[in-house]
Amino acid sequence: MMIIRLTQKLAKKIKVAPTTVESRTENPFTDWTANLFTVGRAQYIILIHSASLYSVVFPGRGINDSGKFIKHVLSAMGEQMEDAGYGDVFEKHLAPLAENIRFSKTGDRRVLGSMNDLVLQAKYRLADESLADAVKGLNKTPMGALGYQYPRDALAKLAHLPESVESSLGEVLPFPGWERGEKEDPLTGKTSDTQKPATSGNQSKAAPKTPAQKRAETMKFQKEMVALFGQVRKPASKEQLLDEAQNLIYDAWESSAARAVKLAQQALEISPDCADAYVLLADLEAVTIRERIELLRQGVAAGSRALGKRFFRENVGHFWGLLESRPFMRAMGALANLCWEIGQGDEASELWREMLRLNPNDNQGVRYLLLSCLLELNCYEEAEDLLKCYAGDFSAEWSYGEALLAFRIDGDTPSSRRKLSAAQKQNPHVPPYLLGSKKLPKRLPEYISPGDQTEAISYVSRGLAEWAKTPGALDWLKRNS
């Protein structure tokens, strides 16, 4: 029997409604977890072996029922494992299970957390790599839940258990403790009560084991576990606990608000250094501005602790490009935005400056917010310096911001008119919204394209106040439009 645990999204797609969480079997090869994700407009299905985290990925297009799903699962599993050199593993351990496949709800948080990590990686890889290369890359990724082993290595170790440990059906055979009515799962380390194997009448009862024999069995068992996992499990480090907490946040981002709050609280119980958890609680649970500010300050502090002083020294200028820095940068951005909203422009500008120092590539678009802030605070010299730093930016935010700054400093001059004319060429849709001849929609566009109305709407929704507060600016714009 093979158990495939389906996420809600995938279960809905293939029209399956599992009602229970199936228990794990003794065979370590039977248990898999599957999810649905998208890259651009393309759908993919990822199937993860629960014990080793070995991944199989295949396109999801056209798979709209359980029969097609099972057909594609077995086909992709066989082809990709053969391509990776594990064809014998599929033939010996998985193909015999194909006649009896059960669907289940998901239940193992460790697997779900790891799956979120692997899905994110898959999205990045599939944007630039072939499907075959992306799958190979996933299975060569060190996973925290495996003690930073590769999934392909973990699968190989399971597949090459000695025959005394694994029967042809994958059943776990006698380990120390069997005679006591206990059986220990080599994958989880948990024991469960079992009945002793039945003996026939002519078999003699085994003699009690001496303490020396028991110690020898225990040592043998430990060696088998080391051979299986490559190392003895150690208490989780701070980094591993943070990884576990972060995986809950990935789950929270795709959950309802109520469930997201619970997951964020659980994440902080696991690791108080989980910056994204504070940001999520500030957004969904905080009632007052004071509560939101306090949670976001805690998030910034948590992110800073998690990275450490050495990380800051060695990676300044490269933040955001390093995945581990992103929770900290998200917390800083959220705190800066809230400070700006409540009129604390000085603190907001300090935070945005620091974000640009850490990440001058500005993947978060901080420079646009800082420019607005500097215009509001009448910091014209710094605003000019900022515009020069990103002189190659041809967005409406930048071109109209530069024109407005020139008008504030010099008034109606040939130089300021040239900058306004350049801005209008970049996006001619902005003036009608600034002058009120076109009304802004109630909902901002989800996507923005340079030079079209979506960009104009996005800019004017933030920049109108700056133009309105500048004496004569709108009349100057009207005369020159």
> How high is the pLDDT of residue 32?
92
Is residue 432 over pLDDT 50? Answer: yes
Its pTM stands at 0.55
**What average pLDDT does this structure show over 70-98?**
89
Let me know if residue 119 belongs to a domain: no
**Can you tell me the distance from the alpha carbon of 286 to that of 73, in angstroms, rounded to the nearest whole number?**
44
Q: Tell me the average pLDDT of the chain.
A: 84
Is residue 149 over pLDDT 50? Answer: yes
Which of 68-77, 415-424, 438-447: highest mean pLDDT? 415-424
Let me know if residue 476 belongs to a domain: yes
Which comes out higher in pLDDT, residue 305 or 97?
A: 305
Let me know if residue 176 belongs to a domain: no
Let me know if residue 306 belongs to a domain: no
Domain limits for position 97: 2-106+129-159
Residue type, 335: L
> How high is the pLDDT of residue 187?
36
Of how many residues is the chain composed? 481
Let me know if residue 291 belongs to a domain: no
**Can you tell me the distance from the alpha carbon of 425 to that of 183, in angstroms, rounded to the nearest whole number?**
75
Pairing of strands 2-6, 182-184: unpaired
Is residue 101 over pLDDT 60? Answer: yes
Let me know if residue 63 belongs to a domain: yes
- Domain CATH number, residue 76: 3.30.420
pLDDT tier, 206 (very low <50, low <70, confident <90, very high otherwise) = low
Let me know if residue 336 belongs to a domain: no
Under 8 Å between Cβ of 129 and 121: no
pLDDT tens across 316-366, in order?
999 998 989 999 999 999 999 999 999 999 999 999 999 999 999 999 999
Let me know if residue 241 belongs to a domain: no
pLDDT tens across 354-400, in order?
999 999 999 999 999 999 999 999 999 999 999 999 998 989 999 99
pLDDT tier, 208 (very low <50, low <70, confident <90, very high otherwise) = low
Residue type, 431: P
Is residue 199 over pLDDT 70? Answer: no
Query: DSSP per residue over 260-301, as a string?
Result: HHHHHHHHHHH-TT-HHHHHHHHHHT--SHHHHHHHHHHHHH
**What average pLDDT does this structure show over 462-472?**
93
> How high is the pLDDT of residue 161?
45
Handedness of CA 313, 319, 325, 327 (dihedral sign): positive
Among 140, 159, 178, identify where a domain stops: 159
Query: DSSP per residue over 341-373, as a string?
Result: HTT-HHHHHHHHHHHHHH-TT-TT-HHHHHHHH
> How high is the pLDDT of residue 306?
96
Is residue 168 over pLDDT 60? Answer: no
Is residue 110 over pLDDT 70? Answer: yes
For the chain, the domain total comes to: 2
